[in-house]
Structure 1
Amino acid sequence: MIDYLPNIILLLIALYVLMTLGYVAFSYRQAKRYEKLVPPRGAFTNISTGRLHYVDCGEGPAILMIHGLSGNLGHFDCGVIDELAKNFRVVAIDRPGAGYSERPEDHPANVRAQARLVAEVIQRLELDNPLLVGHSLGGAISLALALEKPELVRGLALLAPLTLPINDAPEAFSGLDIKSDWFRRIIAWTTAVPHMIRHPEPVRQQVFGPDEIPPEFALKGGGVLSMRPKAFINTSRDYRASGDDLPGMSREYAKLAVPVRVLFGRDDRILDPEHHGEVLVRRYPQIGLKMIDGGHMLPVTHPEACVRFIRDAAEAMKDRKFISRASPEVYR
């Protein structure tokens, strides 16, 4: 038996290598398949992180839409963009590192760094003081931009936004908590894609629940684009860095010099609407809050309610003004 041991070990190593190559080949083929099913739907421009994918439609006051974690601009394309484009110039972007937008792996992924990239987009596309519409992580990025460069924006209309530091991460994102860059790449190119395909329950139950996933989400909503190795890598980096700036940012909200409105679903299972909505406005009563029935993916599952909310915010904020400390009346 001892004589056969080296051969057995070599066989096991060979099997492991073949299995790994199989995972890599499968992940690569799936990524190409998803990109064929959901090709870029907009145009490209260049910012400091490389090519940026965006859609730009309609005429009127500008609205800039920023999606959340593991998302892309398709999250706004299930009814929100087309409806708002009847009266506004609507620009929706794939955040750098998401969808079809580029971001080097060594570029910082914290919220303030991402906000500076959005500022680049505003200037590159010559948007005139847009209303920022940020969903989830996109809400935190919008808040960071409003704190650092309020002169660039007219106001914020935030959908289920990440606003305050959190202690307990959503269970649905536990697989993203990877510290090592090299281990993240290994997971991305081996088990991540097959796992997401075989285990859709966290997305169905936590990310969308209690709402149903609309049938158009996979393609028109760009859902399948998140199941690519590159998307997994950047989503994990975004997730790991998402809380770095929130403690400092949340202490500065009293200094916000642009109006802010927040829409939350009462049954959100990803971001606690009491913590990120009701606690937020109790601390900073100049921020307006509206609650509706629904979960976390409001732009996809409740596009009509989002459109009404954004229209109301745009109307209230049409007369752009800056103040050092706003009263609730100014914001609402």
Structure 2
Amino acid sequence: MLVLGCLLLVAAVLAAFAALTWRLTRTIEADNPPVGWFVDVGPARIHLLDLPPGEPAPPEPGAVDRPAVLLLHGANVHHADMRAALGERLSRRLRVIAPDRPGQGFSGEGGREVSDPGHQVALIRAAVESVGAGRLIVVGHSLGGLIALRYVLDEEGSVDGLVLINPTTHPRPGGLPWFQRVAEVVFGAPLIWTVLLPASLAMLDRLSTRLFRPEPPIRAYAARTGLTLGLTPRRFRNSMKEYSDLRNHLEAIVPRYPDLTVPTVIVVGDADPIVPPALHGEILAKVLPRARVLRLPGAGHMAHHRHAEAIAAEVERLAGLPPP
């Protein structure tokens, strides 16, 4: 009887947390509504922001259209992270397209293979084509850097340049750190759909600080980027799937890197503890035929927020714009 009573108590507690998580999710989605376009691309509906240039280049004899900028966000966030960091700044002079990657934000998964970079690229490419974008500068941060690399490898004919910001590029020697392996087991479906969201909201400031370390977070980062949206069950589940499958996808793509010939800028925060450059960006730079490295001394993982001007200047240079 004692065991049965304990089981019933646990079930009641989890049910209460599940109801709380459901209400919190509805509130978070209402507070961070979709602000862009929805594009149906076969098995999924992709949500993307399409920002026209605020200062379009005046027509000149023989002038060519400038490429658009495709911003690909990292894990556990959605397009608002890249919009807040770079989107508004770059859209002063260039068209900017910022999608929610499949399974994140308000984009659908498009199938169980949501963690596969090739699957994501196919959906994003179809969405980009549907809004009439032609040539691109592709910009990816963190895990979005892996998607950006796969995008260019699969669609190189449509890409004029690539900018990678603290990108995830290579399998970590020895596999994932122990705490990530534990997280994959602990944060199974029961906890993702019950206690994860309330617990995360209680430590939101600490989460922001951890993302930016050793630099301080930007003011009101969580509010400006809708950080809580990525903590809701469906989206967090998809992020965990990306993490668990990441090593296999990295091992598959690494041999293709030397085939990437577009001009590439690899931005590395040399103090990034989340995606250490010595294990990722610095190694990638050695095998890409047309890569240069922009090192940011003292910068952490969220360098696109803290060093936006330097990164925006690289994007504009690749797009053929003169300095402002």
Query: If the TM-score is normalised by the length of the shorter chain, which range does it land in?
Result: 0.7 to 0.9
- CA shift at 1:91, angstroms? 0.5
Q: 1:91 pairs with 93, 97, 122, which one?
A: 97
Q: What are the Cα deviations for residues 63-98 of structure 1, in whole angstroms up to 9, with x where unaligned?
A: 111101111111112242112111111010100100
Task: Give the aligned partner of residue 276 of structure 1.
Answer: 280
Query: Aligned-pair RMSD on alpha carbons?
Result: 2.4
Q: 1:117 pairs with 123, 126, 133, which one?
A: 123
Work out whether 1:264 is the aligned partner of 2:258: no
One-letter amino acid matched to 1:12: C
Work out whether 1:156 is the aligned partner of 2:150: no
Q: 1:18 pairs with 4, 12, 16, which one?
A: 12
Which sits farther off after the overlay, 163-172 or 301-310? 163-172
Which sits farther off after the overlay, 155-164 or 202-211? 202-211
Task: Give the aligned partner of residue 309 of structure 1.
Answer: 314
Give the Cα separation in 2 of the matches to 1:214 and 1:152. Answer: 34
Which sits farther off after the overlay, 193-202 or 272-281? 193-202
Give the Cα separation in 2 of the matches to 1:144 and 1:113. Answer: 10
Consecutive unaligned residues in structure 1, runs of 5 or more: 1-5, 317-332
- CA shift at 1:241, angstroms? 1.8
Give the Cα separation in 1 of the matches to 2:319 and 2:284. Answer: 21
1:63-102 to structure 2, matched below 5 A, reads 63-102=69-108
Match of 2:222, SS? Answer: coil
Q: Does structure 1 conserve the Cα–Cα contact (< 8 Å) formed by 2:99 and 2:124?
A: no
Match of 2:223, SS? Answer: coil
Task: Give the aligned partner of residue 244 of structure 2.
Answer: 240
Task: Give the aligned partner of residue 207 of structure 1.
Answer: 211
One-letter amino acid matched to 1:214: I
Q: What are the Cα deviations for residues 121-151 of structure 1, in whole angstroms up to 9, with x where unaligned?
A: 2222221111111111111111112112211
Give the Cα separation in 1 of the matches to 2:265 and 2:185. Answer: 33
Match of 1:269, SS? Answer: coil
One-letter amino acid matched to 1:277: G
Work out whether 1:169 is the aligned partner of 2:163: no
Which sits farther off after the overlay, 255-264 or 106-115? 106-115
Give the Cα separation in 2 of the matches to 1:315 and 1:219. Answer: 34
Consecutive unaligned residues in structure 2, runs of 5 or more: 57-65
- CA shift at 1:270, angstroms? 0.8
- CA shift at 1:271, angstroms? 0.8
Give the Cα separation in 2 of the matches to 1:313 and 1:267. Answer: 26
Q: Does structure 1 conserve the Cα–Cα contact (< 8 Å) formed by 2:50 and 2:96?
A: yes
Work out whether 1:44 is the aligned partner of 2:38: yes
Tell me: CA distance 1:104–1:282, structure 2 relative to 1, closer, same or farther (3 Å).
Answer: closer
- Identical aligned residues as a percent: 26
Normalization by structure 1: what TM-score?
Answer: 0.84
